[in-house]
Amino acid sequence: MRIHALTTGTVRVKQSFLFAAAGPTRQLRLFVPGDFSDRLPIHAWVVEHDGRRLLVDTGETAAARDIPFARFDVKPSDELPAALAAAGMTVDDIDEVVLTHMHGDHMDGAVHLRLPVRVHDAELAYSRSAASRFFQRVLRQPIPAGVEFEPLALDGGPFGAFEASRPLSDDGRIVAVATPGHTPGHISIICIDDEGRHMLLAGDATDTLEQLLARRHDAVGPKPAVHVATLERILAHARENPTVYLPSHDVDSAARLRDGTTLSA
């Protein structure tokens, strides 16, 4: 097995996004003026295993519009085809695609693919809800046109500390697990590497390792308690299995992947 970290540009986010407040001002603070972070990567991942290549998330495109709490820096030369080329691949080398969740910086790059894009069925349903459609319009983050989304049911029972899962490879070494919180249907992908480490492609389960260790919910998820319960599960999983934690926007994720640095929770 080999995992490649792709980078499709960068994003700067408001500090009130990275360090969410507890209580009723949690979401409100995203919309008032405030300082922004340094540039954070927008990662996607390719998992090469058993002669197949699975793309996990598709990255952002240059069409992304800034929103009150995120400023994107994505050039056409940062988009998925170029990010794949930097890893020695083309879009035609990809066999399968799965998304951690349906936010623009994870799904917009799907416009470059001619493959069905698998999404947790609960996430797909949420994206079509009235609340979600409202934010897509207000934040001017539409679902990309012309992409064929295919619902993925997490019907494989528990996996490790996670309540619901679905194997994505015949040998069970690539597994989608439920990590709700950031969005209701958010999933993470666990890849058991040749050394037996659980490489946890965490999407936006948190933005950083620091947020995970602090057990801090984020500023956008609809139910903070659900989010915190997921963070506890990830930490519980890491106590039972050597786990390398790889969120999409952590400046240290690429180095942790390269070095195989496990969580000691």
- Which tokens sit at 63? 């069409």
Closer by beta carbon to Zn ion, 165 or else 206: 206
Number of residues that bind Zn ion (CB under 5 A): 2
Closer by beta carbon to Zn ion, 160 or else 181: 181
Stretch that binds Zn ion, among 114-122, 146-154, 201-209, 227-235 (CB under 5 A): 201-209
Q: How far is the CB of 173 from Zn ion (least distance, A)?
A: 26
Closer by beta carbon to Zn ion, 127 or else 165: 127
Q: What are the backbone angles phi and psi of residue 155, rounded to the nearest 5°?
A: -110, 20
Residue 14 neighbours by CB distance under 10 Å = 22
- Which tokens sit at 245? 């934690």
Q: What are the backbone angles phi and psi of residue 126, rounded to the nearest 5°?
A: -65, -40
Q: How far is the CB of 126 from Zn ion (least distance, A)?
A: 12
Positions 209 through 248 that interact with Zn ion (CB under 5 A): none
- HSE (side-chain half, CA atoms, 13 Å) at 174: 21
| Ramachandran quadrant class, 58 (left: phi over 0; alpha: psi -120 to 50; beta: rest) | alpha
Q: How far is the CB of 182 from Zn ion (least distance, A)?
A: 6
Closer by beta carbon to Zn ion, 78 or else 204: 204
Going from the C-alpha of 126 to that of each of 26, 184, 222, the distances in angstroms are 21, 7, 11
Q: Which of 4, 43, 49, 103 binds Zn ion (CB under 5 A)?
A: 103
Q: Which of 204, 207, 218, 250 binds Zn ion (CB under 5 A)?
A: 204
Residues forming the site for Zn ion (CB under 5 A): 103, 204
